[in-house]
Amino acid sequence: MAATMKDIARRTGLGLATISSYFNGGNVREKNRIKIEEAIEELHYEVNEVARGLKTNATKTVGVVIPELNNVFCAEIISGMEDILRSHGYAAIVCDCRTDKKLEKEAVDFLTRKRVDGIINMPVDMTGAHLNEFQKTGKPIVLIDRMIQGISCDCVLVDNVNAAEKAVGMLVEEQHQKIGLIGGPDEVFTARQRMLGYMKALKAHGIAVDEKLICHGDYTIQGGVQAVEELVKENPDMTAVFVTNYEMTMGAVIGLNEMGVSMPEEISLVGFDNLPFARACRPALTIVSQPTEKIARETAQIMLERLEGREELPDHIVRKLQTDIFMGKSIRRQG
C-alpha cells in the first residue's frame, strides 16, 4: 500500500500542516525539511501531482512561450529561469512558437488547458490577443523583452533605446558619419526601440537620418548576410554598421567576409549579444551585451512573488535593465 502524508507525519513526529507546507513550496525549517525528505526516501512516498493540483488549483508548473528556442538570447534566459524555478519546486513547460503568431496562440491555449500556474512570454503577437483567455484565469503573466500596449501585466525589459544610442554614439565619436543600421522587423517592440536609439544618437550629433542606410532584417543569420550585402552595395560611402541582434550580427560578419570587405579597415561594426562569438572573431567584435542572467533572475523572481500572492506588490511591475558594451577591435577611427 502506498505511503501517505500521515505516514510521513508518524515517521517524523511533525504535524500535517508542516508536511503540507513542504509539499506546496512553503517555508519549512531546515531541520524539518531534512526529516521530511529522509522519510520520503524511506517510505518511497510519491506525490500524486494530479490530485494535488485538483485540490489546490496549483500544478507547480510555469509555462514559457518564446519565439525561437535556437536563439542564443532566448536559450540563455530559459536556462537561467528554469534553475531558479526548479529550486522553488516549479517545473517549466517550454513552448517554441517559431516566431509564428498562430503557433504562439496554440501554445498559450495548450498551457491554459494544462492549468499552469503562470505564463512567461517573449511575445510575437504584439496585440496581446493570444493572452486574452489566460488573463481571465487571474493567473500571473510576465513578459520578457517586449511590452504589449493594453495588457496589464509584469514585464522585464532591457533599455533598448539607451543601448542603441550608446552604440551608435560611440561610432560617431570615432568620427563615423555614414552609419548603417541592420534593424529587426518593424512590428517587433525591441526592433522599434533600437531604431529609435539609432535615430536619437544621430540627431544628438547633428547627423541627418538617411533611409538608404537603414535595412530591416528578420533576426536570422541569412537575414544579416542579405542586409549587409544590400547596405554595402547601396552605400559605397558607408563606413560603419550597427547590427541589432546576435543572429544578424553573425550574418553580417559572414556577409562582409564573403564580399571581401575587411573589418575594421573598410567597415567598422558594432553587433549585439553573444560574448563568446564576439571574442572568437578576428578582430574581436564590439558588441552590446544584454544581461541575460539578470533578465532570467528578475523574471523568475517576479513570477515566484506573484505565485506566493504577495499583497504588497504593485498591480504590475516593469523592470528596465541596462546593457554593457564589450569593446573589441571591430571599430576603426575615421579621419
Whole-number mean pLDDT of the chain? Answer: 91
Q: What are the tens digits of pLDDT across the range 94-121? A: 999 999 999 999 999 999 999 999 999 9
Which range among 163-167, 289-293, 308-312 shows the weakest confidence by mean pLDDT? 308-312
* Distance (Å, whole) CA 295 – CA 316: 17
Q: In Å, what is the CA distance from 110 to each residue of 67, 83, 97, 139, 142?
A: 16, 23, 12, 15, 17
pLDDT band (50, 70, 90) for residue 23:
confident
Identify which of 64, 156, 49 has the alpha carbon closest to the alpha carbon of residue 110: 64
Percentage above 90 pLDDT, the chain: 73
Taking the mean position of all CA atoms in its chain, how far away is CA 15?
42
Choice between 3 and 252, residue whose per-residue pLDDT is larger: 252
Instruction: Encode pLDDT of 49-89 as tens digits.
Output: 555 554 555 789 999 999 988 888 999 999 999 999 999 98
Helix, coil or strand: residue 87: helix
By percentage, how much of the chain surpasses pLDDT 70?
Answer: 95
Q: What is the pLDDT of residues 218-256, one digit of tens each?
A: 999 999 999 999 999 999 999 999 999 999 999 999 999
Q: Band the pLDDT of 16: cuts 50, 70, 90.
A: confident
The partner residues of 164 in beta bridges, in order of sequence, read: none
Distance from C-alpha of 74 to C-alpha of 202, rounded to nearest angstrom? 30
Q: Would you say the pTM of this structure is higher than 0.75?
A: yes
The pLDDT assigned to 309 comes to: 80
DSSP string, 279-312: HHSSSPPEEEE--HHHHHHHHHHHHHHHHTT-TT
CA torsion sign, 112 to 114 to 115 to 119? negative
Length of the chain: 335
Distance, in Å, from the CA atom of 106 to the CA atom of 1, rounded to the nearest integer, reads 41
Give the per-residue pLDDT at 183.
Answer: 97
Predicted pLDDT of residue 33: 86
